[in-house]
Structure 1
């Protein structure tokens, strides 16, 4: 089951609510379904529970019983559910219930159906059930509401904006899509429509991703430091072996001889650890300074021997 389907099932489990919110939620579902006009009122959905909730809303609110039918698109290879109001007189009753008429030229949101916050919340819940989709937050943050008409999309954007939800809009296949890609906006929208489990799921995914990213950064940093330490140690050993082969370690000043022998014996140790093994312990910077002197002596020796050869 997709994450979007899980969210819709969570919302369907809430039912149609009280009489105070029933009309608003039903309005959101019907207005943003496949069609809402005197010629046709219907919903196409892949979610069976959404289809039955749509039919129940019409029955409970207006007293019209409509069937839930299975259908398929052979070209797309998809299966879905269709709920429609079959008779013209019945469609007129549905339109009238929400303050619309058969003479409406264009669809707009009738704000009389969403007067208070509870009504607006229920309305947006119905909108999402009818035309919303939500991506799996493990992959990306993306919630969208597909609306067939520009003015209806603009009205919906206004309602969302009143709750601080600033949707972006694109045109796709002749329709208008309102979408959010910011996780905080998606969480706020889901919380608003009472999909609290879904909202918490996204928050948990964000926490997990944040911890994983921090761990990766630390690991990458540690790996880089280890690589840097190994490379530096190899170069130090190379200098010491060169001096030992060409002149012997006694060529070095006494304060460098002990460190040179310790480095040859403990090539994997860090500078701090190496400094702790000295008869007179040194700090990391002190060890680094002495190894730098060994390198300079090795370079001088290479230069001198190359000239003599």
Structure 2
């Protein structure tokens, strides 16, 4: 069912899932992912300048593989989205840029909710939604940031920082993959492009690059959380490395001492020393048994 004109009814349809994409029904609850948290934060940002608002709206449109529809009343931009917060963002941007009349539709399936938005486009903005990527990418730095944020809302995701570092955009076309890669490179991060399942995926695997990119797109809370987890991971890794190093040194010291003690003793004494060695933990034995057989 399409909702048109009654804003309260439309928002009720978009609110059938709670904040963060979680359903208010117990059967739909799930643990929100880090990527969803990042998108929730970005969806709450509304650029102040009209040029940035249009750039972000275009980013969501092209990133989510939007379509241009025609009717007797004119042209409209059609969005198919999976998150209610992004659908709300599209409506807010459309009203700020146009103002554009919006139609909403929320569809519940067995596995997810889908949100369909149709924005009536003014005649002077129809051309912006039909441009190739080279013309869509703006020159102004603020517009480029807004476009990148919209693209992430439309086709991006990021792994939780306690797993492997990975941020990606599933580009709608190869030309858009090149454009997204250029936007990422201009923000100071290093991007790569790979073909996966017939789609071009632009990715960033460097932790510093992901932090820089999230900061560029305005996700300051996500940057803080990412950095906190990174610090814990680095400290934990350093502790483990030092512990392994010290354990290896202890094993070498014990082996050397036992070898010196056994030298010059009778075979019976050597056998006794070897028996005591067998009672030691495996990590502390090291190569000592071999050394006893070699130098004993």
What's the TM-score once normalised by structure 1's chain length?
0.66
Q: CA deviation at 1:98?
A: 5.8
Counterparts of 1:113-262 in structure 2, within 5 Å, are: 114-239=138-263, 242=266
2:123 matched to 1:99? no
Q: CA deviation at 1:244?
A: 11
- In structure 2, the residue matched to 1:83 is 116
Distance in 2 (CA, whole Å) between partners of 1:240 and 1:72 is 83
Distance in 1 (CA, whole Å) between partners of 2:42 and 2:153 is 8
Q: CA deviation at 1:219?
A: 0.4
Tell me which of the two structures has the higher relative contact order, counting C-alpha pairs closer than 8 angstroms and 6 or more residues apart.
2
Q: CA deviation at 1:11?
A: 1.3
Partner SS for 1:110: helix
Q: CA deviation at 1:179?
A: 0.9
Partner SS for 1:169: strand
Q: CA deviation at 1:115?
A: 3.5
Q: CA deviation at 1:222?
A: 1.0
2:93 matched to 1:60? no
Give yes or no for contact 1:66–1:83 (8 Å, CA) kept in 2: no
What's the TM-score once normalised by structure 2's chain length?
0.69
- Higher-Rg structure is 1
- In structure 2, the residue matched to 1:110 is 135
Give yes or no for contact 1:98–1:110 (8 Å, CA) kept in 2: no
Cα separation, partners in 2 of 1:162 and 1:9, compared to 1, 3 Å: same
Partner SS for 2:112: strand
Give yes or no for contact 1:109–1:156 (8 Å, CA) kept in 2: no
Distance in 2 (CA, whole Å) between partners of 1:240 and 1:42 is 89
Distance in 2 (CA, whole Å) between partners of 1:116 and 1:98 is 21
Unmatched tracts of structure 2, length 5 or more: 1-31, 71-75, 270-279, 281-291
- CA-to-aligned-CA distance 1:242-264 (integer Å, 9 cap, x gap): 4998xxxxxxxxxxxxxxxxxxx
2:61 matched to 1:30? yes
- In structure 2, the residue matched to 1:19 is 50
Tell me how many residue pairs correspond in the alignment.
238
Partner SS for 2:93: helix
Give yes or no for contact 1:16–1:53 (8 Å, CA) kept in 2: no
Unmatched tracts of structure 1, length 5 or more: 246-267, 269-294, 303-309
Q: CA deviation at 1:131?
A: 1.1
Give yes or no for contact 1:26–1:58 (8 Å, CA) kept in 2: yes
- CA-to-aligned-CA distance 1:220-272 (integer Å, 9 cap, x gap): 11111222223333334444764998xxxxxxxxxxxxxxxxxxxxxx9xxxx
Q: CA deviation at 1:19?
A: 3.0
Distance in 2 (CA, whole Å) between partners of 1:215 and 1:97 is 57
Distance in 2 (CA, whole Å) between partners of 1:151 and 1:116 is 20
Partner SS for 1:154: helix
Distance in 1 (CA, whole Å) between partners of 2:255 and 2:217 is 57
Cα separation, partners in 2 of 1:133 and 1:170, compared to 1, 3 Å: same
